[in-house]
A and B are shown apart, each in its own frame.
Chain A
Amino acid sequence: MANVLEIQGLSKNYGSVAALQNVSFSVPQGSIYGLLGPNGSGKTTTLGIVLDVLNASSGSFQWFSQPYSGASKRRIGAILETPNFYPYLSAYKNLQIVADIKKADHAEIEKVLDVTGLLQRRNSPFKSFSLGMKQRLALAASLLGNPEVLVLDEPTNGLDPQGIADVRELIRKIASEGKTIIIASHLLDEVEKVCTHVAVLQKGILKAAGPVSEILAQQDQVLVSVAQTENALSLLKTLPFVENIIPEREWLKLTLKQGFSSADVNRSLFENNIIASQLVVRKKSLESQFLEIVNK
């Protein structure tokens, strides 16, 4: 499938601070692409560059495999960080300005206000809105012009649980229309719940990128319980397919390289006369996987 966005070797320095270092990844058409990382990991910097508000120190990017133009800008709806509107203008008037810039039909304004549940407050000034309403207005604005790609930076930030659920539902609905969605989030749970692909950033370095099923789910953990822990530990350390060992009480938590399973562990132990009393395969929790990727 074609890529909506391709990023090659993007770097960004703020003075001596390297906010982004040689980041490359591609966003396939129709995916819900999560940019995952703790605060300050370079998510917003990455989005800022591809949205033309930040200048990259080096590297390049293409939207829709084309040079960047006004036309390609208007195929993208985006929220970066905070909702940005004129505080003294009403929701409707603010969206009129956005519609002008996106060359969108003004008849769409009522529609997007309705979708985001703001129709009743369309004539209230933006400054009177709660944070959640501001966020939803930003979402409404990004939907104007029926863009093919939505770029959302922390879209559920500051929303109450109902608001979060509504926004996620909306994202899924939009995605089901075949649109591509790029979401930056520090919430693992959010990425796991809605994303098909993920790129993990840490201190400006891309740690992993690909389908969620590959990045976040494939490496299961194998828990081994043996009588002779010391012997087992020294043996397991020599095994080429064991990536990581974490002793935890009577258990040894193992992470295996791709293509290996608990059977391989069992066989090796047995061949070396170590009998496992218990062998458990456990789906790794999202948090532990994330921390593993990030601390690699």
Chain B
Amino acid sequence: MLTLLRTEYRKILPYRTFWVILGIFTGLLFLIVRSAASITINGQTAGPTLYNFPDIWQRLTYIASYFNLLLGILVIILITDEYGFRTLRQQIIDGYFRTDVIASKLLVLLSIAFFATLVVASLGLGFGLSATENASAQQITGNMMYLVYYFVQTLGYMVLAMFVAFLVKKNGLAIIAFLLYFFVEWIIRFKIDDSINQYFPGKVLNSLAPNPTQSIIDSAVGITTTALPPQQAIFPAVFYIVLLTVFAYLLLKSRDL
């Protein structure tokens, strides 16, 4: 397992695109979180209370969830490159089986998800500790489960991207298909009752980092949206991750390279 991951990082670490996208992810997230405190709504500045433990975890993972698309695009680039360079084909010739290919990609996704969670955790601790005086350990770790939900969410987005990459093989088309999926699912959800559509993959993933102001929005608009709470959404999310991984494998197995 570790050798598979090490081989993957021999490909990825010298690749500039990888660093550029992770740099954008980290940099933009930092800037947005930093400037969030100075946002003024109805003449009221949000202020540093925004960073207070333990609420910061939900706020932060909600903001970070918007960047999952960026990580998904990174995954699509990394996988479709292997088709473009025909290195996937060569590696199957050289000794990998299709299970090795899926396993090594999944390991990369896990490591990126781990990195992203680490970034979010560091931002949370950094901003949280600077804004909260005398924060107790209990305050800090309260709601830290949101980091786990976020990890599963970002992994879910990337596994979907992996599946699309193996399906479409071409980077531009795959990126469009990936982005289009969420839009199409969103449209379809309008036609289907919440009790069912709350189990749709996109909605399940989004439920893992719920909008902290959802209740306010709902009362303002006058409708209530039904979505699974994150502690429940995590089960279908893991199910979809496994399912998409299996689908990606079957796709790879059934087609010529």
Residue ranges of A at the interface with B (Cβ–Cβ < 8 Å): 48, 51-55, 70, 73-74, 78, 80, 82, 84-89, 93, 96-98, 100-103, 141
Contact = CB atoms under 8 A, between A and B. Distances in A.
A211 B16 CA distance: 51
A82 B93 CA distance: 13
A89 B91 CA distance: 16
Given A88-B16, A97-B10, A100-B6, A78 B257 contact: no
Contacts, number: 71
Interface string B243-256: 00000000000111
B11 A89 contact: yes
Contact of B11 (A52, A82, A97): A97
Given A84-B85, A86-B87, A52 B93 contact: yes
Contacts of B95: 70, 73-74, 101-103
Contacts of A80: 89-90, 93
Contacts of B89: 53, 80, 84
A66 to B, nearest CB: 15
Given A70-B95, A89-B14, A103-B95, 20 more contacts: A52-B97, A54-B256, A54-B257, A55-B256, A70-B96, A73-B95, A74-B94, A74-B95, A78-B93, A80-B90, A84-B85, A86-B87, A87-B85, A88-B14, A89-B11, A97-B10, A101-B95, A101-B96, A141-B90, A141-B94
A96 B10 CA distance: 8
Contacts of B14: 88-89, 93
Contact of B15 (A53, A85, A88, A103): A88
Nearest to B3: A100
Contacts of A101: 7, 91, 94-96
Contacts of A78: 93-94
Given A70-B97, A100-B6, A103-B95, A53 B11 contact: no
B94 A93 contact: no
Interface in B214-257: 254-257
Contacts of A84: 85-87, 89-90
Q: How big is chain B's contact interface, by range?
A: 20 to 34
Question: By DSSP majority rule, is chain B's interface helix, strand, loop, or mixed?
Answer: helix
8 contacts: A51-B93, A52-B93, A70-B96, A73-B94, A74-B95, A88-B14, A101-B95, A103-B95
B91 to A, nearest CB: 6
A98 B89 CA distance: 12
Nearest to A100: B7
B176 interface: no
A259 to B, nearest CB: 43
A70 B92 CA distance: 10
A52 B255 CA distance: 11
Contacts of A89: 11, 14
A132 B97 CA distance: 29
Q: Which residue, of A48, A84, A141, has the highest number of chain B Cβ atoms within 10 A?
A: A84
A70 B95 CA distance: 6
Contacts of A97: 7, 10-11, 91
A53 B7 contact: no
Contacts of B7: 97, 100-101
Contacts of B10: 93, 96-97, 100
